[in-house]
Amino acid sequence: MSQLSTNHHKSHPKILAAIPCLNEAQFIADIVTRAKKYVDKVIVIDDGSTDKTSEIARAAGAEVIRHQKRKGAGAATKSGFQAAKANHADVLVTLDGDGQHNPDEIPMLVSPISDNKADLVIGSRFPQQTQQTLQTLPTPQTNIRRYRKFGIDVITWLYNLGSRVKITDSQCCFRAHSQRLLDSIDITETGFGFSVEVLTKARKKGLIITEVPISCVYHSQGSSLHPIPHGLGVALSVIKHRLKALI
């Protein structure tokens, strides 16, 4: 059995929230303000925005790390990992800045790590009975489109293939990470392939992965990528990292 992080001996683990975003001036103040209620520090990673995302985030009380040019979601999340380690965080929560994730659900994600039961907690938009939960989770509120759900299901299937412990949502970036995970995993993917890179490396290192049900609301004004090249790119990343893990 793998050793978990030692947060259990602390009455209040230090929790940091990292919000990678690009041109999210419309949503970022609300996300930062609500997240601050549950964490010790909020860090916004502005990945080359051309709007006032950075200024609004600072005014709302966040620390801002700004990439002068767009580097990608993986690179922005890596900056969040580095900031968490520099701040000696016990738990890092990542969530999107476009309003799709509910900051009021942060305590639910942090709880398994605080209780020393997990190293990586994934917010699942599609919970069902799984080996790690051993129970049927409630269906969360989500307005995800069918074509997007299909793509996520394919990527999750590729990740689960041959694995003893299954997950239901490999693509949700609303996650909580233990200090042990932060210390043992380095993100190398600059794009959205980082989501499966972290999962694959965590599984290879024997870290404990679990899921909790979350709500997820997609806004028409939120940033989006073309689903076909995005999905194919992430699927190829799954295959690449699984082959690396086997080697």
CB 175 within 8 A of CB 120: yes
CB 227 within 8 A of CB 151: yes
Instruction: Give the pTM.
Output: 0.83
**Each residue's pLDDT tens digit, 3-46:** 454 454 456 899 999 999 999 999 999 999 999 999 999 999 99
**Residue 196 domain flag:** yes
**Residue 2 domain flag:** no
**Residue 31 domain flag:** yes
**Each residue's pLDDT tens digit, 197-235:** 999 999 999 999 999 999 988 765 544 554 555 556 655
Question: What does the alpha-carbon distance between residue 212 and residue 23 come to, in Å, rounded to a whole number?
Answer: 28
The position carrying tokens 């000696």 is: 88
Which one-letter DSSP state was computed for residue 216?
Answer: B
User: At 123, is the pLDDT very low, low, confident or very high (cuts 50, 70, 90)?
Assistant: very high
Domain that holds residue 214: 7-246
**Residue 39 domain flag:** yes
Instruction: Find, among 80, 75, 53, the residue nearest to 175 by Cα.
Output: 80
**Residue 98 domain flag:** yes
Cα dihedral across residues 88, 94, 96, 102: positive or negative: negative
**Residue 1 domain flag:** no
Domain with 173 in it: what CATH number?
3.90.550.10
Domain count, the chain: 1
**Residue 110 domain flag:** yes
Query: Is 129 a residue whose pLDDT tops 60?
Result: no
